Amino acid sequence: MGQIPKELEPTRSALHFFGAELRRLRQALRMSQADLGKLVFAHKDLIRKIEAAERMPTEELVSRCDDALAASGALRRLWPMLERERRLRLSRDTAGLATTFRSEATDRPVLDWLLASTHDARRQRGDDEVATAAAEKLDQLRGADHVYGAGHAYPAVAAVLDNDLDTLVARAPAVAAGFLELAGYEAVDLGADGRAQRHYLRALEVVTAAGDRLYGGYLIAVSLAHLALHCGDPAQAARLAAAALRGTEHQATPAVRAAFRAVLARAHARRGDEAACAAALLQVEADLARGKPEEEPAWIRYFGEADLADEKAHCFFDLGLHELAQREAAQAVTLLEPSRARRLAIDTALHAASLARARQIEHACAIGRQAVDHAAGVASFRSAHRIGLMMAELQPHSDLPEVRDLADYVHTRLPTVVTQQNR
């Protein structure tokens, strides 16, 4: 008697989603695990373990399975997400691994920032031609990142870091930190979490030395804490946001406090603490109501109603409050500038995923198609990853024609996932 297939949770992890898709494709062709094993030169027990999310496949095996099952790239597309999951698991099991995100790596730099002397860095000036030109280039690259994704913009940012960083640190530390923060943000967008953390920590080192307390708090509460959330550590994200709020108690402007508290709300939601999340979101709304954009640092003026709606949508999704999540995701998409293509892709896919969890499958697929259209226009691992999470929510309904049509649309419109190896 054959073994009863293990029940999978496609939304639990990329490995579970891959296992579910591998099983679905194999069964659709009426293949046994032994049949597939012979075609891909693997033992049937290895196929069973991969389908049960008990073993991580190699890239070569993923490619062979894709060919054997005539998946047209559907399995290959999941490899970058599997590889990222493998790195995150390895980092939890291997002390001192330098190539991926490690929560503990932030502890000492944050303590150094807390203990450092401070002043109001908004009075700093970088008036020489080098600083002015670099600041203009930074603004241009930020704009390109929003429109085209990190796959397009990161090489130019990396070139500045390789060639000009030391000069900028000496002559315009705020601009240097801006390039490093953008590089970190783009590394996240490429699936390179360890590299992102190193960029963010270098930026924190620069602003700590320059005495820029407020921007240091932003790097801790927004950049590093969001990265911790992205890597599955909401407890660390909450600690970082709380440390930044304490460390900038006398410097933070309303929009800065709002951005910090929004991340705190996200961390509470990820941990299932609905009351703490709601309290933090109320404080965010109160802070934004008090703010005056002209009195805010230039680097935080982006944070407004669209970004608040985005943060709320993620909070409500994590808490399982799907009507609220759908409302806020739709609001974020309505308020976002058309140029913010990656954010449009992510929020639209989140909306579709929430609809799928609420079993509104036809509506989820219609919104999901819009998310794919947004994602197709940007070179972004994060966008493709969010599309993958959306499809994982729909995977239990893969026998429905609208879900199959959406899967085919994803395969057509998103033939590859943009990523770079972590280094």
Cβ neighbours of residue 290 closer than 8 Å, sequence gap 6 or more: 254
Cα–Cα separations (whole angstroms), residue 170 to 173, 210, 252: 6, 10, 26
Residues 393 and 390: their CA atoms lie apart, in Å, by 5
CB-based contacts of 245: which residues, under 8 Å, 6+ apart? 217, 221, 252, 257, 260, 261, 264
pLDDT of 88: 79
> Helices (H), strands (E): how many in the chain?
21, 0
* Mean of pLDDT values over 252-270: 97
**The predicted structure's pLDDT at residue 74:** 87
- Residues 285 and 308: beta-carbon distance below 8 Å: yes
Tell me, what DSSP letter sits at residue 293?
Answer: G
Pick the residue with more confidence: 90 or 136? 136
From CA 210, how far away is CA 191, in angstroms rounded?
A: 30
| 385 close to 423: Cβ distance less than 8 angstroms | no
Closest among 168, 230, 148, 167 to 197, alpha carbons compared = 230
Return mean pLDDT, the chain: 90
Task: Using the predicted structure, report yes or no on whether residue 131 has a pLDDT greater than 90.
Answer: no
* Spacing of C-alpha 292 from chain mean position: 29
Q: Does residue 272 have a pLDDT over 90?
A: yes
Look at residue 122 in the predicted model and tell me its pLDDT.
Answer: 45
**420 pLDDT above the threshold of 60:** no
Largest CA distance in the chain: 78
CA atoms within 13 A on the CB side of 412: 8
Query: What is the per-residue pLDDT for 13?
Result: 86
218-229 pLDDT, tens digit each: 999 999 999 999
pLDDT tens digits for range 310-334: 999 999 999 999 999 999 999 999 9
pLDDT band at 104; cut points 50, 70, 90: confident
pLDDT score, position 92: 63
pLDDT above 70 coverage of the chain, percent: 92
State percent of the chain over pLDDT 90: 75
Q: Degrees (nearest 5) of the Cα angle 211, 215, 221? A: 125
Separation between Cα atoms, residue 129 and residue 208, nearest integer Å: 24
The tokens describing 301, both together, are 């003026």
* More confident: 183 or 146: 183
The mean pLDDT of 133-162, rounded to a whole number, is: 93
Q: What is the pLDDT of residue 417?
A: 64
Mean pLDDT is highest, among 70-74, 292-296, 346-350, 413-417, for: 346-350
Per-residue confidence band for 1, with pLDDT thresholds at 50, 70 and 90: very low
Distances (CA, A) of 191 to 188, 381, 423: 5, 6, 11
d(CA 36, CA 117): 63
For residue 170, which of 118, 131, 211 has the smallest C-alpha distance?
Answer: 131
pLDDT number for residue 422: 43
Classify domain 1-101 at the CATH superfamily level: lambda repressor-like DNA-binding domains (1.10.260.40)
